Chains A and B, each alone.
Chain A
Amino acid sequence: MGRRFIYLLMAAPVQVLLLAVIGMPAIYVLWLSLHKTAFGQVPEFVGLANYGFVLSDPYFWRAFVNTFVVVNIVVYVELGLAVLMATLFASGMPFRRLLISIVIAPYAVSEVIAVVIWKYMLEPDVGPVSAILASLGLPELAWTTDRWAAMTMVALLSIWLHLPFSFLILYSARIGLPKDLYESAATDGASAFDRFRYITVPLLMPAILVALMFRYVFAFRLFAEVWLLTGGGPARQTEVLATYLYRHAFRYQEFGVASAIGWLMVLATLLIASGYLRAMYKRMLTGDA
């Protein structure tokens, strides 16, 4: 009992720190979400009215669908590419260091600059990508007028920006896998695909789950790519949850509504992440691989 108390005491500073920097703001936002307030207004308790407003707002549901679709495309395409590239790079390809530098370079580019670059590349009249599409007889990507073309561009941009994160996690996990397993499998006549299917994927799964969960959480907060590229337009067709929240918080100063949106985003993220958390728990803590 005495030893247990000392353990708790030693862990207390971290608990206090977590409570202070994560718990308190979250509780304050929860409190705000139950009030109607703006600058110069005394908060007025409104119960669950803010949640009711948000859940009955068609713009919220459009933003939710956009976010859900883009996040799933971004996360799975990105992870697929990261697994393939990690496998390719670990197999000992030439100029590996140079190529790794190129792959992780977008991580050093700020989101604002990335949006400006991509916006220019896909500019209808003078953009180089538009010119290539035109020279191939293909139509321009109508990302300023078509909802799904815009969301495709947002997804491409997001994958380009964040691929290095998934790649670094999976590449470091892949080069840590024991070589003798691959040598034994090769001796037994396993093809390259079999080795990938039966050795690489199962052994990489814990790292894949970690990358998946982190990317889900980060991607759900997708903001700069949409806000800077389309501003949520045309006609609010490309709005995502984070831009919807931003609009209510900082343009309309509806802090109660914005807080409710924030909490709904947290709950949605938790719901999606819970499946992966459960799988991670099973695989990593109980050794049920």
Chain B
Amino acid sequence: MLATLPLPFYFLVGGFISIFLPKGTVKSSFVCLVPVIALLVLLNGGWEEGFKIQFLGLELNFMRVDKLSTVFGIIFCIAAFLGNLFAFHLRESTQPFVALIYSGAAIGAVFAGDLVTLFVYWELTAISSVFLIWARKTEGAYHSGMRYLIIQVLSGVVLLFGVALFYYETGSISFVKMELNSLATALIFIAFGIKCAFPFLHNWLQDSYPSATITGTVILSAFTTKLAVYALARGFPGTELLIYIGAAMTVFPIFYAEVENDLRKVLAYSLNNQLGFMVVGVGVGTELALNGTAAHAFSHILYKALLFMSVGAVLFRTGTSRASELGGLYRTMPLTATFCLIGAASISAFPLFSGFVSKSLIMSGAGKEHYQIIWLILVFASAGVLSHSGIKVPYFTFFHHDSGKRPEEAPMHMLLAMGLTSILCIYIGIFPNNLYAIMPFQVKYDPYTFEHILTQLQLLCFAILAFFILSKMKQLPSETRAINLDFDWTYRVFLPSITSKILLFLETVEQKGLSVLHKSLLLFLNKVYHVSGPEGVMTRILTSGTMVLFIAIVLLIVLGIILF
């Protein structure tokens, strides 16, 4: 019976139990154990019929287990375990609790068989995850968290409108493939797009992830955006618009990532860029490309978590993640540096690392469908990934100039989390067939052909050569304490300033209008007073004789009219 309960149940119950456990090893061990148990239960199966309940005349399915949802379910369990292991040192109740609820909600959304269940978990991911930002307990983090919450909840509200309209139009709430041809599906698409950080809807990502706690960012990086990728892959595979959106997503973050100073922000932009590859895969929509999306999401969660962990470990030890304040840490943090390099090699798609075997599925998918420009953009973006995540993050953190900092190596549990993640990155890279075996479709693909290895090495090595040459010529962007304006400027500066100007204008208009109204009213009252006041024509006192005469005249006139 217990084994057929919905998977989020383990996380939600585990989360509430964790509150009552003593802070420290017991609590930390418990929150690590929960995802492991959930993973074992998932692998054991038993939801062939789903987990359905009737609610307000609707059939809700909490466990639609098929190959696509299973891939995401597995990697979410693994990510939750690794994230919690990385956070083993925490001696508080909020973050471990929230981490379990958040990951459970994301897993619940992945297995949701209907749009209503999806909506509930969709919102729960938003509401729970914001506490990982607020746990930083600074004014800046509070405001970032509020912005994050507003945007995430907005995504849920848009989804709810879409679902309601969809039900009205079709009479169904099943979460299946949809066509982008009505307002309902457009709203659902936009809701997914907000969480997936589509261009112009993406800023919550770069705003919130660097604002979260060290461990919070690692947890955050795994779930929300990949849940959105899953939702797109489930709901809108083969939607051509996604190809162009995805291509744009791969390109623009590269330039930002290259000049951002906060390395966690660099990684957030890099995450945006990687999402672009997955979105392109969904847009292409062939079995090969969709496998690519699922495989890339799987390996991406691992190497991105690894990069966030290594920068997080540095932040933990040095108190900063600014490139301008780091450098030369390889002397005292060699293991963290090694793990960071493994993450960098994986994201850059070096052969024998996970990114190589997953990204190439998407590239081949786009190539086979003859999207030449898109394919060229993806190759360009591959060079871009190398530039910021492959080179910049490890180079400015652990090498480059000596910052003079000599921090201790990361704590044992962090090293363990990074080590296990590194092993997975390499394992997937060397034995890709084990990853391909759990993909949604049976597609034969061999990434290790001589020409593929050669071309990939050519691309990467010559990009690195360009880096060396430009570095020697001192042409690389310097690390300075600065930020770069992005689209969030519109709602953080432009719209508030426009709104305040409009309000000021309205206030002025109101004041002037009131004054004119006041004057007109006074004038009118004066006139009325003049006519009807004590001295007015209409209210002057007449003698009785005059009134009798007046009435007699009126009577004569009336008589005259009647008679003639």
Query: Does B bind A?
Result: no
Q: Give residues in B with beta carbon < 8 Å to A.
A: none
Q: Give residues in A with beta carbon < 8 Å to B.
A: none
